[in-house]
Homo-oligomer: A and B are copies of this chain.
Amino acid sequence: MSAAARPPARIRLGMVGGGEGAFIGGVHRMAARLDDQYSLLAAAPSATPERALRSGRALGLDEARIYTDYEVMARAEAARDDGIEAVAIVTPNHLHAPVARAFLKAGIHVICDKPVALSSRQARELQRLAVRQGRLFAVTHNYAGYAMVRQAREMVRRGQLGELRLVRVEYAQDWLAEPLEASGHKQADWRTDPARAGAGGCIGDIGTHAYQLAEYITGLTPTSLCAELSTFVADRALDDHVQVMLRYANGARGTLWASQVATGHENDLRIAVYGSRGGLRWRQQQPEQLHWTVLGQPAQLLTRGGPANDAAAQRVTRLPAGHPEGYLEGFATIYSEIAQHLRAARPGGARAERAANFPTLADGLRGMQFIEAAVASSRRGGRWVRLPAAA
């Protein structure tokens, strides 16, 4: 029996943000735990000592490794023999870049929520820093973790759709249809505040997910866009709705719609891709199913774990068909792929990351460029604006 049978040691993980009342921090923790690839050992859950301590204790952390200052945490952990190898950044948007910077400088890999920064300039600086430090910068565009998204991507890659013609992605929610921020709702509060959320409201919070998903599945980055951001709720400082038309280099056309005021939609991310030979449709709220049509044949329902799943989908499948996997499993897939990537001792930087199936800072940067182009287009009254070419 070979030693190889030993399971690899768990990745030592830290977290910044995600204290009491936060939503996404808990999700990251469950995702990291599901496949047993991480140990959460340190955290800076809050800048307020009492809250930080309370949150850190509730996580079962050693009190010596509960921090209130992420700079301190980065240095302290870097100095320990058993210090964290990677940090998960789950703060409001404006802190993503400075926190990431601190940990990269300390030589610690970064797993960051989106949008990765407040500007594409910031994102590019982070990119340079990560390369210089040889550290990974992963971005939790978690929807890329669904098995049927992997299946769709593989079918596009293999040419089953023929030449791509149309890309339609939409992400509709309704939780901000009323001025929730006015009543002190924590999630609504920072997401509608330009100082903490950045220049984009809805477009940054969910539009970037939709944009990344379309890129991820199609392999195409748009060359230009025409966007209109709107704010329907009075006294709100950021957009709560965005509609965008997209052009691609190969002549394909696309649309992106993201709304947080679309009454009747909960977390309704959908994508459809149409080519000269076939068309695909997927919906996040029924993630186990991929609607697939070859031109001139009856539509097929591909199901996760069912017949006709490619290796790309099977690799990220835990349960047999009909035993629903969901949001956490997709998120966990991203985390587990990051762990495998780290264990393979691949250096950070663009080349290694390009080979990864999980999203990285390159995606995060393009997300920032998308936000900036859309905001610019909208400010000019809905003019077409060019997007930077994908690096």
A residues lining the B interface (CB < 8 Å): 1, 5-7, 23, 26-27, 29-30, 33-36, 50, 53-54, 57-60, 161, 165-166, 168, 173-175, 177-178, 226, 228, 230, 232, 241, 243, 245, 247, 251, 253, 255, 257, 259, 261-268, 272, 274-281, 284-288, 291-303, 305-308, 318-329, 381-384
Contacts and interface: CB of A to CB of B under 8 A. Distances in A.
B262 A279 contact: yes
Contacts of A319: 27, 327-328
A144 to B, nearest CB: 15
Interface centre among A247, A285, A323 (most CB of B within 10 A): A323
Contacts of A226: 226, 245, 382
A255 B253 contact: no
A346 B287 CA distance: 40
A285 B285 contact: no
A7 B59 contact: yes
Given A30-B34, A54-B1, A328-B328, A306 B298 contact: yes
A308 B302 contact: no
B263 A278 contact: yes
B322 A324 contact: no
A175 B295 CA distance: 9
B243 A324 contact: no
Nearest to A3: B57
The quantity of this chain's copies bound in the complex is 4
A264 B253 contact: no
A173 B321 CA distance: 10
B253 A230 contact: yes
Contacts of A23: 320
A295 B178 contact: yes
B266 A321 contact: yes
Given A300-B300, A324-B284, A325-B326, A263 B293 contact: yes
Contacts of A177: 276, 295
A268 B303 CA distance: 13
A173 B322 contact: yes
Nearest to A267: B322
Given A253-B228, A262-B166, A323 B267 contact: yes
Nearest to A301: B299
Given A287-B324, A328-B328, 4 more contacts: A166-B261, A232-B276, A285-B322, A319-B328
Contact of A7 (B6, B58, B275, B284): B58
Given A243-B245, A295-B174, A301-B301, A323 B321 contact: no
Contacts of A272: 262
B279 A174 contact: yes
A290 B267 CA distance: 17
